[in-house]
Amino acid sequence: MKKTTIGIIGLGKMGGNMALQAIDKGYKVAGYDLNSYPELQEYGLTQAPDMDSLVAALPSPRMVFIYVPAGAVIDRIIEQLSTRLEKGDIIIDGGNSYWGDSVRRAQALKEHEIAFVDCGTSGGVDGARNGACFMAGGEPEAMDHVAPVLRDLSVENGFVHTGGPGSGHYVKLVHNGIEFGMLQAIAEGMDLLSHYREELNFPEILKTWNHGSVIRSWLIELMAKTYDEQQGFENVPSYIEDTGEVNWLVADAMRMEVPVPVIAQSVMQLFASRKPGSIADKAIAMMRNGFGGHPFGPDEGIRYERKYGKLENIESSYLYKKKPE
């Protein structure tokens, strides 16, 4: 199949690496960004100075990928494109937009006879450069043009047409929620390993887990790699930053009355990472002191009762006793 020229708005980590991969796959790429990227231009990308020049560089039907953060900026870009594109052209939002916004945008563009594809993209920066995973929603006519490009830019079997407009970003949002639950489970497992009665060899355990075990995964691989690079946990801050997309999923689940306790709790635990000595913790301590005379702060007697006093059925409290030297 003859490779066409595609447009990419947003040439940062995701859009820039996607452009490099597309060039490797034989596509011509015209890009637009407020910043200049000479390294991309040297690789073969044509960086347009403005939106008009970008649109003029693309053959019909034009395909314009957007790789910028979710939010109002997407609407501004779409508004600018809608006055420049023509009937049958296609806008593809490859970011983490909310699926409800994608439904709205598709309906608005339909009035201009411009197609909209919401394309959830997974695999991170490495995937953008070497083969991503795409979950794309859109009308069949638009997907006839977009699907071959996405298949070229994905890993093997890493593309799915999920359904109509909005479905791609919905599937990606659910994917992100599952990711949060998996991250939380792995993190809790690491914490449990660190509490064993003797020091365990984390790198070797992680290596073994990723060879034949049920939980082998890219996340375990990344955990092992970063643990080695950072030489343990000591120099890594506990504060977890996040752009908040999974919050949308939890809100959707509540409206749909679908129970998602693991995903919801993983979001709550993420919030907890940001609030050392939070007012909520202080308020609970106040109330416990009020109704039960429970002390403020650590208490060795209570700690001993918690760790040893309720373990009569666990022989010698082996979980908590250090291995003899």
Active-site positions read 172, 179
Q: Which residues, including other chains, have CB under 8 Å from residue 1's CB and lie 6 or more apart?
A: 148
Hey, which bits of 77-214 come out as E strands?
Answer: 90-93, 115-122, 132-137, 154-163
Find, among 73, 168, 65, the residue nearest to 122 by Cα.
168
Question: Using CB atoms within 10 A of its CB, is residue 312 exposed (0-12), middle (13-18) or buried (19+)?
Answer: exposed
DSSP 220-275: HHHHHHHHHHHTSSTTS-S------HHHHHHHHHHHHT---HHHHHHHHHHHHTT-
Burial class, 296, CB count within 10 angstroms (exposed 0-12 / middle 13-18 / buried 19+): exposed
Nearest CA to 18 out of 94, 90, 85, 70 is that of 94
214: tokens are 């049920």
CA distance 73 to 8: 15
Tell me how far apart the alpha carbons of residues 274 and 262 are, in angstroms, rounded to a whole number: 19
Strands (DSSP E) contained in 129-227 are 132-137, 154-163
Q: Are 225 and 218 in contact (CB under 8 A)?
A: no
Phi/psi at 162 (5° precision): -80, -20
